[in-house]
């Protein structure tokens, strides 16, 4: 089941292929966890970007504790890891929280 929080959709191992790999727009995946402080810091930044760039970029989050298959498949070792997928392939990976301006700069080549 896909749940959506203010422009950021939560995905799981079960629907990752449909929601991310098969998506028409580029997709930014936040690999996150409930216990991750920097993940919580990043949440409002991602919500803002989802609202502003929703026509060019889809943003989803995947809980690493509840979805180990996808986490292992993409070699995610720390949270938050941000990974951009385009045409089903990961094209960019970033680790750690960052301010909105810096994140937008880092995403400029994939938007």
Give catalytic residues, as residue numbers. Answer: 36, 39
**What value does the mean pLDDT take over residues 10-20?**
97
> Domain of 49?
3-107
For the chain, what is the domain count?
1
Give the containing element (helix H, strand E) for 43: helix 37-53
- Give phi and psi for 81, each to the nearest 5: -110, 130
CATH number at residue 56: 3.40.30.10
Q: From its phi and psi, is residue 75 left (phi > 0), alpha (psi between -120 and 50) or beta? A: left
Tokens of 77: 């070792």
pLDDT in tens, 65-108: 999 999 999 999 999 999 999 999 999 999 999 999 999 999 99
Predicted model pTM: 0.93
pLDDT confidence tier of residue 111, bands split at 50, 70 and 90 = confident
């Amino acid at each position: 089941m896909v749940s959506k929080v203010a422009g950021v959709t939560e995905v799981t191992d079960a629907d990752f292929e449909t929601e991310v790999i098969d998506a028409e727009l580029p997709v930014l995946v936040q690999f996150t966890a409930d216990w991750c402080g920097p993940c919580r810091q990043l949440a409002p930044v991602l919500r803002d970007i989802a609202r502003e760039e929703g026509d060019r970029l889809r943003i989803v989050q995947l809980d690493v504790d509840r979805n180990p298959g996808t986490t292992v498949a993409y070699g995610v070792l720390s949270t938050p890891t941000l990974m951009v997928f385009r045409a089903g392939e990961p094209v960019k990976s970033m680790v750690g929280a960052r301010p909105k301006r810096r994140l937008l700069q880092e995403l400029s080549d994939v938007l």
